[in-house]
Structure 1
Amino acid sequence: MYSFRKSAFALLLILLIVLAGCQNPANTASQGAINGESVSLSSIASVIDKTPEAAGSLSNPKNTSAQLATKTLADNQLTPSLVKVSSSVTMGKVSALRMASAESGWIGGDGWIARTDDGGKHWKIQYHGSGIVKQIFALNNQDAWAVTDKAKLLSTSNGGEHWVLTGKMPNEGFLHFVSKNEAFSGNARTTNGGKNWSTLPVPKQTVGDAYFHDKNNGWAVIQNNGMGIVERTQDGGKTWKIVMGLKLISPLNGAVIRSAGTDDAWVEWIGDYGMTQNSYSLFHTSNGGKNWQTVLANSTAGGGPAPGFQEEFDGPKNQGSSPGPLYVLNHNVAYMGGDCQACDKPNTVGRTIDGGKTWVNEKVSFPGFGGALLAFSDINHGWWICTDNSDPSVLYTTSDGGTHWKKIYTFPRPKQTS
């Protein structure tokens, strides 16, 4: 009798455990995928206030994405969270592009990231979440990062098989990693992969974003008393030195800086605009600012003379009436798109392979009124995506440095919003 009661009790206990398990199933982890003339600076320093000024506190926007379901641990530090890929996600308008090699790379759009390993012929969606992907940076074929318009920083260390939420972006500057842990975005620096960011001092009246090649060497564009000026730091922003200055007819409306080495800087000045036209200039130095080469000086009827020039410059010009994307490959090779909103085929591209001494405008143009994206893995292989707000984005590729381009992939038509 005792044995029977014992057995019955054991069976009852097992039944209760089973019922409890059905009501509270275990959670499973979700996973997914100037022409070469040196510039005298003695007359500039007397009219410039060179006192560095800290950029102030970095923004720390709240993360509202239910898709990523993360938890704040400290300022700009989040728990990593794997993101599941939904089978219903489709690619649309492309908003970000980065090559890792001639065959491999990533693109991003509204709530998605995709990868190709066959030069763009086929794509696999690896990430699904909220927010438009604004930037992608690849350190190599495995380590990459993506930035969304919601200031989220995503990362992968296995080629995109898994993307995780790494942190929050401190600003909207150009993100570039120099190692797996160290990166820069404008005047912000991280040493732990984007979990936390510190601020580097920049000069007063900085136009656009400063650019730090590494923790010591950085560049900034300022304007003061009718002068456009480039300054350089070699001690992480503690002190800045004027390395170029030119008179301006009208104020600068923006600046873009890229660097391919400690003493290398490509500096784009964006000037006035009107009639869908924008004047701009591109300068290059490879010796720390001792000498400068005028790479481009595009004057326009609507935008007036190129910044830094008192009249139209009789020198190299890019196609189009406004600047397109700038992509610097190394200290000799750089590409820039051109944009012409009044043209049937607005998108053009040009390049230099000798540090800006000469400029070649390629004899191709493509449709798309939504802007263009440009990336190169080496001097021969590049991708060019032309976008539109109503027509599909199209990927073109080159294997001869941009002389010839071939249409490789047409993405789905973007969703129309009412």
Structure 2
Amino acid sequence: MNKQQVRFWLLPVLCVGLILGLGTTPGLSPTKATAAEEGKCGQGDHGLLQNLKRQRAGADQDPLRFSDIDFLNTSTGRVAGNGFLIGTSDSGCHWQEIYTGQWQFEQIDFPDNVKGWALARAGKSQSFNLIRTKDGGSKWANVYTAGQSLQRIDVHNAETVVGYTRNAVYVTKNGGNAWARIPTPANTRAALFPADGGLKRGWAMTVKPGGGIQLMKTVDGGRHWRESLVVSGGIGGEIYSSGEQVGALVRGESGMSQVSYSLYASADNGKNWARVIAQSTAGGGPAPGSGKAVAERGPANPGGHPGNLVIADGAVYLAGGSPAAGKVGLGRSFNGGKTWSNVPATLAGFDAKIAFPAKKTGWLAVTNPDDAAIYLTKDGGVSWNIKFDLNGK
């Protein structure tokens, strides 16, 4: 989802108490890096989270790792993990420790600098809580979900949130005080109501009777659905949309840390589809679907699995990770999937999350603990600069 361009700044002395707790405007606060400081940007772990790391050392707790990344613009954003939230407003030269505590963040979504939402676990709980902040992320409060166990959220604005369970969709328009179910087809396995669709335009990925995946579309808030795409052999997946561009990532079987999948793309809101990636693997078998694909492999091979997909100013990016190679990377298209290129995977890791607030400027967070780091690209992933290393290497 493209963010509104809301800018905030960062103090070189990183202190959440000063920034958020003494009556100043919530969020991150201003500084300008000198040329000398720029040369030091991205070195080590910036001294943050040291206390939290020490607390976890030798304890019965998982090591620190990143879990999600969310940027408002090319320089301003937040990265969440298991028990912490950090942020930057100067393209990663400086970072601020915004939150440490019980919340094990799974997904974060900030529609502006101050108000944000998240799905997070409390301690070792396996269920997600929907939580929100009104001060940039320092303090969080539980939000009522009418008893629904949400697995993912899309934040449309500060008060309107679409929540997805394993097979249903719900919406609140008043910050969680009340929820309404959005009708979806039978056997729904994934759905999407993007912010630019105004709760009218939506997508649902369903299991088709007799096998395979069916992608359905609505333009009236779920009252009526029509078939847009059928993919044989799929068992699930994810849907992504921005403007007229739609991406359907259809997953097949998996095995030996490998996933077979296909990526379908439409540049005209689902009227026509192209099979962009068809990755078959030894462990997962043939890729779902049929017909010639633009590319036979996704990013980060051998045997890689897909991460999240981002649509940014007409460009499409797909993250990928390969446990076999111990590398993460991405693939991309600048013409709606007519052509596809995988940038050579050079970053250490198994899994990654990406965020591209602009066409060629983006961020990548490696999410496995051993290689947890944050990288910035300004050329569409051809080259990366490390901006935060959780392990201080």
Normalising by the smaller structure, the TM-score range is: 0.7 to 0.9
- Post-superposition Cα deviations, 1:222-278, rounded to whole Å, max 9, x if no partner, equal 122123211111221122111111332xxx3321011112x5421110001122211
Q: How far did residue 174 of structure 1 move?
A: 3.1
TM-score, normalised by the number of residues in structure 2: 0.75
Alpha carbons 2:275, 2:294 under 8 Å: kept: no
Q: Does 1:155 align with 2:155?
A: no
Q: Structure 1 residues 96 and 237, CA, compared in 2 at 3 Å: closer, same or farther? A: same
Matches within 5 A, 1:157-306: 157-160=134-137, 162-165=138-141, 167-168=143-144, 170-186=148-164, 187-207=169-189, 209-213=190-194, 214-223=198-207, 224-248=209-233, 252-261=234-243, 263-306=244-287
Mapped partners of 1:205, 1:279: distance in 2: 22
Q: Give the match for residue 320 of structure 2.
A: 338
- Post-superposition Cα deviations, 1:192-249, rounded to whole Å, max 9, x if no partner, equal 1234322111111122x2111232111111122123211111221122111111332x
Alpha carbons 2:205, 2:236 under 8 Å: kept: no
Q: Structure 1 residues 405 and 146, CA, compared in 2 at 3 Å: closer, same or farther? A: same
Alpha carbons 2:246, 2:265 under 8 Å: kept: yes
Q: Give the match for residue 74 of structure 1.
A: none
Q: Structure 1 residues 384 and 306, CA, compared in 2 at 3 Å: closer, same or farther? A: same
Mapped partners of 2:236, 2:92: distance in 1: 33
Write the letter of the residue equivalent to 2:175. Answer: G
Q: Give the match for residue 113 of structure 1.
A: 85
Alpha carbons 1:325, 1:372 under 8 Å: kept: yes
Mapped partners of 1:189, 1:332: distance in 2: 28
- Post-superposition Cα deviations, 1:41-81, rounded to whole Å, max 9, x if no partner, equal xxxxxxxxxxxxxxxxxxxxxxxxxxxxxxxxxxxxxxxxx
Residue aligned with 1:119, SS: coil
Which of 361, 379, 390 aligns to 1:381? It is 361
Mapped partners of 2:218, 2:367: distance in 1: 37
Q: Give the match for residue 317 of structure 1.
A: 297
- Post-superposition Cα deviations, 1:70-116, rounded to whole Å, max 9, x if no partner, equal xxxxxxxxxxxxxxxx9954593111211122111111122221211
Note the residue ranges of structure 2 that are not aligned, 5 or more in a row. Answer: 1-18, 22-48, 54-62, 123-127
Q: Structure 1 residues 173 and 352, CA, compared in 2 at 3 Å: closer, same or farther? A: farther
Q: Structure 1 residues 87 and 152, CA, compared in 2 at 3 Å: closer, same or farther? A: farther
Note the residue ranges of structure 1 that are not aligned, 5 or more in a row. Answer: 1-30, 34-85, 414-418
Higher Cα Rg: structure 1 or 2?
1
Residue aligned with 1:225, SS: coil
Mapped partners of 1:185, 1:286: distance in 2: 26
Write the letter of the residue equivalent to 1:359. Answer: W
Q: Does 1:327 align with 2:309?
A: yes
CA-based RMSD: 2.8
Write the letter of the residue equivalent to 1:235. Answer: D
Mapped partners of 1:276, 1:158: distance in 2: 40
Mapped partners of 1:275, 1:289: distance in 2: 34
Alpha carbons 2:66, 2:368 under 8 Å: kept: no
Alpha carbons 2:264, 2:276 under 8 Å: kept: yes
Q: How far did residue 166 of structure 1 move?
A: 5.0
Residue aligned with 2:159, SS: coil
Mapped partners of 1:314, 1:182: distance in 2: 38
The count of aligned residue pairs is 324
TM-score, normalised by the number of residues in structure 1: 0.70
Mapped partners of 1:409, 1:314: distance in 2: 35
Q: Give the match for residue 7 of structure 1.
A: none
Mapped partners of 1:197, 1:388: distance in 2: 34
Q: Does 1:98 align with 2:70?
A: yes
Q: Give the match for residue 7 of structure 2.
A: none
Residue aligned with 1:130, SS: strand
Q: Does 1:143 align with 2:128?
A: no
Write the letter of the residue equivalent to 1:335. Answer: Y
Q: How far did residue 153 of structure 1 move?
A: 2.9
